[in-house]
Amino acid sequence: MRNSPPNPHSTQNRVPPVSLLRPGIRSLLSKGLVFVAVLQCGFTISAQTASQAWLKYHPLSKPLTVPMRVSPLGQSLLEQTAAIELRRGLLSLSGGTPLESGPNMIELGTVQELRKQDPKQALPSLEQDEFLISAHRGDLIREIDIIGGSDRAILYGAFALLRNLAQGNDMSKVNLRERPAMSIRWVDEWDNADGSIERGYAGRSIFFDDGHVREDLAPVGEYARLLASIGIDGCNLNNVNNAAVFLTPQMLEGIARIAETMRPYGVRVSLSVDIASPQKIGGLNTFDPLDPAVKSWWTTKINEIYSLIPDFAGFTVKADSEGQPGPASFGRTPADAANTLAAALAPHNGVVLYRAFVYNHHADWRDPKADRARAAYDIFHPLDGKFASNVIIQTKEGPIDFQVREPVSPLFGGLTQTSQAMELQITQEYTGQQRHLVYLAPMWKQVLDFDMRAGGASTPVKQIISGKSFNRKLGGMVGVSGIGQQAWLSSPLALANLYAFGRLAWNPDLTSEQIADEWTRQTISNDPAAVRTVTKMLMQSWPAYENYTGPLGLQTLTDITGSHYGPNIESSENNGWGQWHRADHDGVGMDRSVATGTGFVGQYSPEVAKLYESATTTPDDLLLFFHHVPYTWKLHDRKTVIQYLYDSHYDGAAQAAQFVDEWTSLKARIDPELYNDMLPRLQYQAGHAIVWRDAITQYFLKLSGIPDAQGRAGHYPNRLEAEDAHLTGYKVIDVNPWEDASGGRAVNCDQNAKQPSCSAEWTYNAKAGRFNIAVQYFDLQGGTARFVLTINGQPPSPDASWSADGMFPTTRPHADNSTRHIVHNVALKPGDIVRVEGTPDRQDPAALDYIEILPATSENSGHS
C-alpha cells in the first residue's frame, strides 16, 4: 500500500474548547443554557478535535442510567469545564435527548463547597486529585454527586463518569472513589520552534510554527481535553534539544497563551530548558550552575515566567547528553545544575525533571567493558540524596533508548532518597513510527510491575515512581507524546497508546487488556465482536513487532544512525552510540555479566542480578541483551538461538498478515471511515514485516552459515528478482545495507536515459492458474513514481497501475521505503510475459526489488 494521507475528520461534537469561548458564553454554558444551541449550530473552530480520539460519545443503544441535569455548586473555571463536559457528553450519549429540568440531577462540588452547602453532611476527606461519585435515590429524586478534593478532581470525576457511560456501564448505583497513583502525570512534546517535531510521525506541531506560538490554538484546547479525560496534569511543550529559544520574552508571551488554553482542563505547562541559556540568550559568559551570576539569571528568568504563567509547572532538562551542553563543562554534577534551577522554582512550587538520559555517544566500541547501558546508574546513583526536594529524576524505562525490549533500568532501584519519574515513548520512534500497529501498554506494564527488590524488599517500579516505596512526595510517569496536526498520532489505533499512558499513570494496576477494552469501547464500538477483535489485535501487536524486528533482547535491529525505522543490523556496530549487539560469525549478544562482561548486571539488586548474571537463568526474551552466546545456544525450550531468530521472524510476519484479516472481519461492524483509514495501514505493515523478516533472516543466515531447519530463510521459490529480469532502461544497483533487498540488489530507472519509463520483464514458466502478484518496490521521498503491471501487454485489472505516493523515510532505496503492491487474482499460464513498467518522478527512480507469484486470495486478505 501507499501510506494513506490523513483522513478527513469526523465533524461530530465539534464544540470549541472551553478556553476559546468568550467568558459570557462560557458562563451560560456552565449553566447549561446555550449548550444545545452550540452543539446544533456547530460552532466549529478547529478541524482537529478530541472526538477524533476517544472522546466520541457515540449515542448509546440503551437509555442513559443517570440524570441529565448537571448542577455545579461552584463557579471556578475547572468546575465550569466539568459541567460543560458532562452536558456535552450526556447530550451526545443520549442521542440528543433535551436536557432535563426536574429535580433529578448530577451535582458537582468540592468537599469544601458541599460542606458550606450543608455543614451537617458527613463528607469524606479527599486528596487534591481524588474524587468520589455516588448515587442517591429518594422517593422523588435521583441524584449523583461528584465530589472532588479540588475542582480539578471534579473534572476527573466527570470524565470518569462519562468514560463508564460510554462503555455502556450502568451507573445508576455508582459508588466510585479514585485518586491518581502518581503526582506527576505529564506528556512531553519534542516540538521545535519552527513547527517540526523530533521523532513525531503525525505532521507538524499544534503549538509552534515558524519560530512562534501558533495563532490558532484551538487544537491545543482539544488536546488539553483529551489529556484531562485520562488524568494527565502536565504538558512539557518543547524539545529537550535546542531549547534556549523558548525562554525569550516574545516566546514566553506565546507560551502564556498556550497555558491559558490548557488551564480550563487543569493541564499545566512546563518547558524544556537548555542549561546553557544564561550564556546563549542571557548575555553571560558562563553557564556554570554554581556561578552567582548564573543563579541570579535563572531566578530572574523564572520570576518572569511566573509573572506570565502563575501555575507554570516547571522545567525538564537534558544536559551533557547527545551534544547538549551541561554542568560537566564546568566540572559540576547534574545535582548542581538541577538544584540551581530547583532553588529558583521552589518559591513558586515548580519542579525540575532532570533526565537521567546522560551518556557518552563517543564510546569505544572496541572496548569490551564499555557499555552505554551502565551510564545512567553510574552517573546518578552516587548523587542519590543530593537533589533538592523539588527535583525529580526522569529515567527512561530501559537503560538504552526505547528499544522494542529492554530490561528495566536499574536506576529505579538505585535512587532511594530521590524522587523519580519513568519516561516512556508514546510516539513510536523505534517501534514502527505509527505505520506499524504496536500497542505499548503490555510493554509498559512489564516495567511497572517489575520488582526491583531494592534492599531485598518488594519494590515494584510502579511503587517506586509513585513515591510509595521510598516515601517520596513526588514522582510519576512522563510520556513522550509526539502528537501533531495529523489526527493526533496519524494512525487511529496508535491513539490507544496515548490513552493507555494516561490510564496507567492514574492507575498502574490496570491491566493492558482492560485498558484496550475500554479504549475500544469508547473509540470504536461496544459491539462485542469488535471489542474482542480489536483488543486481541492490540494485545498481539507488540509481541508480533518484537518477533519480526528484534527478539531475544537484541533490541530493535534498525538503522540507529538514520531513521530508526527499517532494518539495518550493522548500523548498531562500529560506532560510539553504544547500541551494540556484537553479532559475529560465531555468536550474538552483549556480555553484560559481572563475571566476564561489562558489569552492568551488578547495578541491579542482588536478587535481580542473580537472575541476569547467568545465561541459563536469564529469561529468553532478554538473553542477548545480557549475554553473548553461540548461535547454537539452546533456549529454555531447547530450540537454538539461530532457529528461534528464523522462526520468530516468520511468526511475526504471519501475525502482521493476520491483523489484516482480523480487521477485515470487522467491516460491517465499525465506522466505514475508520475501517478504510486503518486497512491500508495494516496491509502496508504486513508487507513491511516481510521486509524486516527477510532482512534479518538473510543477514543471520549469511553471518552464522547455519541454515533454517525449515528451509525458508534465503529461499524464495515464488520470487522473480528484478535484477534477473529482461531490463529496458532499468540498471542493476547494489542496495545498502545488502539485506534490505532480496538478493542484495534492485534496479533503478536511469533518469538520464531518453525513455520516460523503464521496464522489467519475466517469462512465466510455472503451472497455469490464478495468482496474486506482489510487486516489491522502493517508494522514495521527493517524487511520485508510477508503476504498471501487464500480462502480455495488458493490465490484468484496474489495480495493476499505481503511484508510489507514500510518506516513507529517506531518499535512497532501502528497507525504510521498500513496500509492496499486490495485484489480485491474475490468470497466468506458462509463456506469459509479466512486465512491470516504472516511470520515475523527480527524486523517485521507480526502483524495483522483485515480484512474487502467490496463491490468489481475496483483495483484502493479509496473506498475500
Minimum distance of ligand GCV from residue 401's CB (angstroms): 5
Minimum distance of ligand GCV from residue 194's CB (angstroms): 15
CB-based contact 713:646 (threshold 8 Å): yes
CA angle in degrees (0–180, nearest 5) for 575-550-477:
90
Minimum distance of ligand GCV from residue 739's CB (angstroms): 23
CA atoms within 13 A on the CB side of 700: 33
CB-based contact 129:28 (threshold 8 Å): no
Tell me which of 143, 209, 320, 429 is the catalytic residue: 429
Query: At how many degrees (to 10) do helices 641-664 and 528-549 cross?
Result: 150
CB-based contact 75:46 (threshold 8 Å): no
Q: Kindly state the number of chain residues that form the binding site for ligand GCV, as judged by CB under 6 A.
A: 11
For the window 703-722, what string marks contact with ligand GCV as x by the rule CB under 6 A? --------------------
Spatial neighbors of 49 by CB under 8 A, at least 6 apart, are 9, 10, 13, 14, 222
Q: Which is nearer to ligand GCV, 810 or 839 (CB)?
A: 810
- Alpha-carbon separation of residue 367 from 362, 364, 390, 624 (angstroms): 12, 6, 38, 18
CA angle in degrees (0–180, nearest 5) for 105-111-114:
50
Residue with cell 516512556: 424
Q: Tell which positions 196-255 bind ligand GCV, by CB under 6 A.
A: 198-199, 239-241
CB-based contact 824:772 (threshold 8 Å): yes
Q: Which is nearer to ligand GCV, 322 or 799 (CB)?
A: 322
Residue among 718, 721, 807, 732 at smallest CA distance from 762: 721
Tell me which of 79, 151, 401, 841 is the catalytic residue: 401
For the window 736-775, what string marks contact with ligand GCV as x by the rule CB under 6 A? ----------------------------------------
For the window 37-56, what string marks contact with ligand GCV as x by the rule CB under 6 A? --------------------
Residue 318 found at the interface with ligand GCV (CB under 6 A): yes
Work out which of 401, 613, 647, 708 binds ligand GCV, going by CB under 6 A: 401
Q: Which is nearer to ligand GCV, 309 or 400 (CB)?
A: 400
Q: Which is nearer to ligand GCV, 242 or 416 (CB)?
A: 242
Tell me which of 291, 311, 322, 671 is the catalytic residue: 322
- Alpha-carbon separation of residue 830 from 677, 724, 762, 800, 833 (angstroms): 38, 18, 11, 20, 9
Q: Which is nearer to ligand GCV, 77 or 197 (CB)?
A: 197
Long-range Cβ pairs for the range 513-521 (8 Å, 24+): 513/539, 515/441, 516/439, 516/441, 518/163, 518/167, 519/54, 519/495, 520/496, 521/166, 521/167, 521/168
Break the chain down into helix, strand, coil percent, rounded to 5: 35, 20, 45
Minimum distance of ligand GCV from residue 318's CB (angstroms): 5
Q: Is 429 a catalytic residue?
A: yes
CB-based contact 206:247 (threshold 8 Å): no
Minimum distance of ligand GCV from residue 377's CB (angstroms): 17
Q: Which is nearer to ligand GCV, 316 or 469 (CB)?
A: 316
CB-based contact 307:253 (threshold 8 Å): no
Instruction: State how far the Cα of 618 lies from the Cα of 628, in Å rounded to an integer.
Output: 12
Minimum distance of ligand GCV from residue 564's CB (angstroms): 6
- Alpha-carbon separation of residue 677 from 72, 418, 550, 621, 779 (angstroms): 40, 45, 28, 33, 20
Q: Which is nearer to ligand GCV, 396 or 445 (CB)?
A: 396
Instruction: State how far the Cα of 115 lies from the Cα of 619, in Å rounded to an integer.
Output: 55
Specify burial of residue 24 (Cβ count, 10 A radius: 0-12, 13-18, 19+).
exposed
Q: Which is nearer to ligand GCV, 157 or 200 (CB)?
A: 200
For the window 560-599, what string marks contact with ligand GCV as x by the rule CB under 6 A? ----------------------------------------
Residue 372 found at the interface with ligand GCV (CB under 6 A): no
Q: Tell which positions 427-456 bind ligand GCV, by CB under 6 A.
A: 429
Work out which of 208, 357, 450, 499 binds ligand GCV, going by CB under 6 A: 357
Residue among 722, 826, 720 at smallest CA distance from 773: 826
Taking each continuous run of H as one helix and of E as one strand, the counts in the chain are 21, 28
Residue 190 found at the interface with ligand GCV (CB under 6 A): yes
Q: Which is nearer to ligand GCV, 563 or 640 (CB)?
A: 563
Minimum distance of ligand GCV from residue 396's CB (angstroms): 7
Minimum distance of ligand GCV from residue 190's CB (angstroms): 5
Minimum distance of ligand GCV from residue 290's CB (angstroms): 25
Residue among 473, 446, 471 at smallest CA distance from 461: 446
Q: Which is nearer to ligand GCV, 166 or 358 (CB)?
A: 358
Residue 315 found at the interface with ligand GCV (CB under 6 A): no
Minimum distance of ligand GCV from residue 578's CB (angstroms): 11
For residue 639, the SS3 value is: coil
Contacts with ligand GCV, residue ranges (CB under 6 A): 190, 198-199, 239-241, 318, 322, 357, 401, 429
The catalytic site residues sit at 322, 401, 429
